[in-house]
Structure 1
Amino acid sequence: MSQSKEKDEENKDKKNEKDKFILPITPITDFKNKPYPKTAACLIIGDEILNGKTVDTNSSTFAKYCFDHGIDLKRIEVIPDEEDTIIRSVKYLSDNFDFVITSGGIGPTHDDITYPSIAKAYNLPLKHHQLTYDRMNEFTNYHSSISKYMKSPPGHEAIEATKRMSLFPDPSIVIYPDKTLWVPIVIVNENIHILPGIPRLFKSLLFNFSTYLKVRQDGNKGENFYRRFVKTFQPESFIAPVLTEVQEKVKDIGIKVGSYPRFTPDKRWVIVVSFLTRENNKDKVEELCKEVAEKTNGIIIDSEDAIIAENENKL
């Protein structure tokens, strides 16, 4: 590449960087003294999920997130946009699990009732959060396709509807983990984390929130999950006694054994046996994998995807 082209590329990169919408994030130092969560629950809120209009992907995203962070996800609930149901569910989850995530119901329309419902659950008032509203305005001004709809005079219905998205239970902790989004994570009752239902926003906020979890990581060292698999072409009913015997041996040391039928790309039926534990039991899991592979004429694999990558003729 010529020097002039390199210079053009450099200027282009600088322009792109300058043109990016960037807002300040919340300092992570504020969360160093928080305990690392051991258990989690996910509350999906939305009629559109229950009536089949929208497919929920956020619970799957959160399940994988918890696994990667060594947090034991204990419950996923899907509930309608109903105040009493939200109140009942959120109080139960907050009382019984360390890390609660809610998804959905924080938009500007009449059926977005997550903030007021959670506020009511704890007898809290709703209070306008000016910083969030300011960030929202910066975002809309940056995106001309949106800003043209936000030129209404003060008091206009559209403006008031927009302000609803910055009415939070008070007190609450408001975190901005993503520098490209105005949307915060709002934390109520210490462990209820309120997130949007839009999958892209949910995922971005959640994964950027990892930074705030990692500062608490010291209390969780050596406790990440560890999972291994054995695949076999023997029928599930044939290997069931083997798995029952194995599970009985390890049920008291925190190792879970499961079996899952799968199809290979060439339509062959394969059984994937899963061993799930914490890292401090990994040696025992390796031992069990060898035992089960031997007894079922199976092969040890690192992931279920390996049923595609492996040469199926080995068995």
Structure 2
Amino acid sequence: MSADQNQGIVTAAFLVIGDEILSGRTKDKNIGYLAEYLTAIGIDLSEVRVVPDVEERIVEAVRELSDRYTYVFTSGGIGPTHDDITADSMAKAFGVPIDHDPRAVEILRNFYPEGQLTEARLRMARIPQGADLIENSVSKAPGFRIRNVHVMAGVPSIMQAMLDAVAPTLKTGQRMLSETVDADLPESRIAASLREIQGAHPGVMIGSYPRSVDGRFSTQIVVRSRDEALLQQAADAVRAAVAATSR
């Protein structure tokens, strides 16, 4: 168990699987959605990793991330084609057999008209032994959960539906709170003050994000903490520093 878990912080990693993501052929739309979703329910997305459709790489990543974080979420590679190898890779990662799961077969049999449940489509019913199914309200082919790893589809609408199905089962921690301060200043002019404020406020994270509109530079400053009182103290200090620097 990680130190974060001992402190009641719930962490997660997102493993994006697919050659099409790495080649740029498919633009990932799931990372931002998952990050925002998990933050809203009190889970810190701590790492995102993208791996190709290579069994050894998937197995290596799953084992490492599963040991490091409270939860792992994956997307991609559970479809009906020959290169959808995620389910087999999960079985190998955890040393369990994989076969057609009667529950998944029944779901697909009830969904597809008679004669249309092909061998290719039946591949989507291959589930590692001991895994729980994740409901898919969009296209019915289920995802699955094995230990602390949640295996979901790569298609955004399906991934989102699976995430909604999974969410009630997740342990959550105290939500990360945030406050944004807009500074009509270039980042360089406020950087020293932000370093001082950060050093004086342990338990608070301060990020600065420069922006440029029509050649005019400004900075958006985001203050984050799980403690509301600490958050307000640091945010007030940032606002004061911005006001003093703007004079």
Q: Report the TM-score, using the length of structure 1 for normalisation.
A: 0.70
What's 2:220 paired with?
A: 272
Q: 1:42 aligns with which of 10, 14, 20?
A: 14
Question: 1:175-210 CA deviation, whole Å, 9 max, x = no partner?
Answer: 32x55552323111x101100000110011112322
> Residue 106 of structure 1 aligns to a residue in which SS?
coil
8 Å CA contact 2:183–2:242 kept in 1: the answer is yes
User: Within the alignment, does 1:210 sit opposite 2:167 as a pair?
Assistant: yes
Q: CA deviation at 1:134?
A: 2.1
The equivalent residue for 1:3 is none
From 83, 107, 114, the equivalent of 1:111 is: 83
User: How many pairs were matched up?
Assistant: 238
The answer for the alignment partner of 2:33 in structure 1 is 61
Q: Which amino acid aligns with 1:286?
A: Q
Q: Does 1:258 align with 2:230?
A: no
Distance in 2 (CA, whole Å) between partners of 1:133 and 1:205 is 18
Confirm or deny: 8 A CA contact 1:41 1:99 kept in the other structure: yes
Aligned-residue RMSD, C-alpha:
2.1
For residues 140 and 297 of structure 1, the distance between their equivalents in structure 2, rounded to whole angstroms, comes to 64
2:189 to 238, 242, 247: 238
- Which consecutive residues of structure 2, in runs of 5 or more, have no partner in the other structure? 1-7
Task: Please state if 1:124 is matched with 2:96.
Answer: yes
Trace 1:105-254 onto structure 2 (pairs within 5 A): 105-141=77-113, 151=115, 159-176=118-135, 179=137, 181-188=139-146, 190-213=147-170, 216=171, 220=173, 223-251=174-202, 254=203
Higher-Rg member (1/2): 1
CA contact (8 A) 2:201 2:234 kept: no
SS at match of 1:55: coil
- 1:292-312 per-residue CA deviation (whole Å, 9 max, x = no partner) reads 1122129xxxxxxxxxxxxxx
Structure (1/2) with the larger strand percentage? 2
Q: Contact 2:134 / 2:162 at 8 angstroms: preserved in 1?
A: no
Which runs of no fewer than 5 residues in structure 1 stay unpaired? 1-35, 142-149, 153-157, 299-314
Aligned residues with identical type, % of pairs: 34
Residue pair 2:38, 2:45 contacting (<8 A) in 1 also: yes
TM-superposition CA deviations, 1:106-128 (whole Å, max 9, x none): 01111100000111122211121
Distance 1:44 1:241 in 2: 37
Which amino acid in the other structure matches residue 273 of structure 1? I
